[in-house]
Amino acid sequence: MTYSVLLVEDDITMVRLLEVYLKKNGIDVHVAGNGSEAIRFLSFDTPDLIISDIMMPNMDGLTLRNKLLKDKKHRMIPFIFVTAKSALDDRLAGYKLYVDDYIVKPFEPRELLARVNAVLKRHELYQDLVRFDGLTSTLNRKTISETLENEFARVSRYGGNLSIAMMDIDHFKRCNDNYGHVFGDYVLIKVADAIGAELRGTDFVGRYGGEEFLVVMPETTLDNAYTVVERIRVGIEKLRFDPQEFSVRISAGVAQFYPGIVTSRDFIHLADMALYRAKEKGRNRVERDLQPQPALG
């Protein structure tokens, strides 16, 4: 993985020095000369880390950090001060702004790189925790919803195909009631694994509810999505669990984007309605969205 860093520094010599160190370690570097330039950069790009001096013209590092803490979009970007301000009061002022590290100039290059890498890796691990469902390792509801929102915006603006599937384990409550929640958790993990095994690297799956999964399939038509989900259904039907060769089934609803769909919530509703029909028709089946789709072009 290639990380990107926004370096906020007005000293050209220090900029060149840090660029050399960071780029030698495979880190992309973007430069802003002060806090105002950094704000402008953040309006069109989001780095993995911000490294900022404190003393700068126009907008200093402390003001920049304060502004970012009030910005929901950018306040979670890891932030390191690299500054000549070494007094205890200065360092405490920095830490009160919840920065990830405070490095005093002059610094030892290897130590700086080690501390930068530690912040980047720690944030990556944190992102995994907040993006993935702790039980099934699929995306959690918030992340799969955001993923769908992004894909929905893409096809709404540029066109193309996008299909989704809503899947639900049939009579899952009986599994928990008869065998306990630990066994139920094991079933959820295996079902999630079976779903993921049939998807492409460009597809996404997330746990949308207790035993409900949402699959997002970019550049996929309704018929192709139906084929994939039917293959998933058959695969899950073949799973066997101890005790007593216990098995589960899933029902699923599949829908494809078309320009008449206004929001991603409406899109999910279409898949939900198809899922409801699958339940009504006896479960253990896949149903397509039946909404009339306007001709494209």
* Distance in angstroms (rounded) separating the CA atoms of residues 148 and 267: 9
Residue with tokens 């072009």, as numbered in its chain: 297
Q: Measured between alpha carbons, how far is 169 from 232 in angstroms, rounded to an integer?
A: 12
Residues annotated as catalytic (active site), given as ranges: 211
User: Which DSSP string corresponds to the chain?
Assistant: ---EEEEE-S-HHHHHHHHHHHHHTT-EEEEESSHHHHHHHHTT---SEEEE-SS-SSS-HHHHHHHHHT-TTTTTS-EEEEES--SHHHHHHHHTTT-SEEEESS--HHHHHHHHHHHHHHHHHHHHHHHB-TTT-SB-HHHHHHHHHHHHHHHHHH---EEEEEEEETTHHHHHHHH-HHHHHHHHHHHHHHHHHTS-TT-EEEE-SSSEEEEEEET--HHHHHHHHHHHHHHHHT--BTTTTB---EEEEEEE--TT--SHHHHHHHHHHHHHHHHHTTSS-EEE--SPPPPP-
